[in-house]
Amino acid sequence: MSLRRKKKQGESKAVVVPLFPPEPRDMDEEEDLEAYHVVATAIAEAESFRDGSVVAVEEDPLLGKDVVTLEGGHARLELPTRCEHPWLIFHLRNRRRFFSIEVVLRDSSGKHRVLTMSNHVSLATMDAPNGNAAQLPLSLGEEWQIIPVDLASLVKAIWGTEHRSIEQVRVNASTSVRRIFAADKPYADVELPEYLRALC
């Protein structure tokens, strides 16, 4: 038997799965990002390398909100999940430094594929003919950006298969992260739950 949370009046009807941060328990309060286990793990992992890599929760001066900032070669945020939605939406800051996004997904062939999007490559590549890993260039504007990724179209174009599920998302330094969520389709900001909106 499945239980469904009743929607409150005025609550968003967007079909989304928050990957970062999780849905707050209390909608009237900001979650403590440092207490979120994936952030605590990322902070500890970056510190363990002792090479200047830093994962930190800080208030962004432009947003006036807490974000997770990734700096250095071993700073990354890993988000395990199991989600069938075909869209991934990122709210990231372009810090004018190299960074990458890696998405581990499963397709209709049953294979796990790794899709990497990076601002330090200019050409799309695949690890081998019919390989399981592909890399795409990522071009960004200034400062904070909303980056919608249509996984269904990309999987079809690259591997000729159908998208089935997102298994893991990893963001590698250097950037700042505000929101990451999966969705069944693109939504206008105002259609999203308030805790996922870029403008709030």
Asked if 110 and 162 touch (Cβ cutoff 8 Å), the reply is no
Tell me the whole-structure pTM to 2 decimals.
Answer: 0.90
- Kindly list the distances between the CA atom of residue 29 and the CA atoms of 32, 72, 165, 195, in Å, as whole numbers in the listed order: 9, 31, 31, 10
User: Is the pLDDT reported for residue 4 higher than 70?
Assistant: no
CA distance 196 to 173: 22
Q: Say whether the peptide bond before residue 165 is cis (omega within 30 degrees of 0).
A: no
Q: How confident is the model at residue 9 (pLDDT cuts 50, 70, 90)?
A: very low
User: Is the pLDDT reported for residue 28 higher than 70?
Assistant: no
Region 78-106 average pLDDT? 96
pLDDT at 10: 52
User: Is the pLDDT reported for residue 15 higher than 90?
Assistant: yes
pLDDT at 5: 42
